[in-house]
Homo-oligomer: A and B are copies of this chain.
Amino acid sequence: MGEFALISDILEALGDRAAVSPQAMKTVVVPPGDDATVVTPTPGWQHVASIDSFLANVHFPEKAPPELIGYRVLMASLSDLAAMAATPRYALVALSMEAALLKQDESWHCRLALGMAEAAREADMYICGGNLSQGPLAITVSVHGEVAEGCALLRSTGRAGHGLYVSGTLGGASACLRLGQTNIESLDNLTPLQACYFRPKARFDLLDEVGKASACIDISDGLLQDLGHLCDASSCGAKLQGGAIPLAPGATLEDALRGGDEYQLLLASEVPLLGCQRIGQLTEEAGIWLDEQQISADGYNHFHA
B128 near A49 with CB under 8 A, answer yes
Return A222 CB to nearest CB of chain B, in Å.
13
CA distance A264 to B83 in the complex (A): 40
CA distance A58 to B274 in the complex (A): 51
B51 near A301 with CB under 8 A, answer no
Residues in B with CB closer than 8 Å to A99 are: 303-305
Return A46 CB to nearest CB of chain B, in Å.
5
Q: How many copies does the complex hold?
A: 2
Size of interface on A: residues with Cβ below 8 Å to B: 72
B94 near A304 with CB under 8 A, answer no
Q: Which of B43, B48, B83 contacts A37 (CB 8 A)?
A: B48
A3 near B51 with CB under 8 A, answer no
Residues of A94-141 at the interface with B, using a CB-CB cut-off of 8 Å, are: 94, 96, 99, 102, 128-136, 138, 140
Q: Among the listed stretches A26-34, A165-173, A281-289, which one makes contact with chain B, having 4 or more residues with CB under 8 Å of it?
A: A26-34
Q: Is A16 an interface residue when CB atoms closer than 8 A count as contact? A: no
B50 near A92 with CB under 8 A, answer yes
Q: Is A295 an interface residue when CB atoms closer than 8 A count as contact? A: no
B52 near A36 with CB under 8 A, answer no
Residues in B with CB closer than 8 Å to A52 are: 94, 131
Q: Which of B84, B131, B305 contacts A34 (CB 8 A)?
A: B84
A80 near B35 with CB under 8 A, answer yes
Residues in B with CB closer than 8 Å to A147 are: 38
Residues in B with CB closer than 8 Å to A145 are: 36
Residues in B with CB closer than 8 Å to A140 are: 51, 53, 94, 131, 140, 142
A33 near B233 with CB under 8 A, answer yes
Q: Is A257 an interface residue when CB atoms closer than 8 A count as contact? A: no
CA distance A218 to B36 in the complex (A): 11
Residues in B with CB closer than 8 Å to A36 are: 48-50, 80-81, 83-84, 86, 143, 145, 152
Residues in B with CB closer than 8 Å to A49 are: 36-39, 90, 92, 128-129, 142, 144
User: Which of A34, A48, A102 has the largest number of chain B CB atoms within 10 A?
Assistant: A34
Interface residues of A (CB under 8 A from B): 1-4, 6, 29-30, 33-41, 43-53, 55, 58-59, 80-81, 83-84, 86, 90, 92-94, 96, 99, 102, 128-136, 138, 140, 142-145, 147, 149, 152, 154-156, 216-218, 233, 301-305
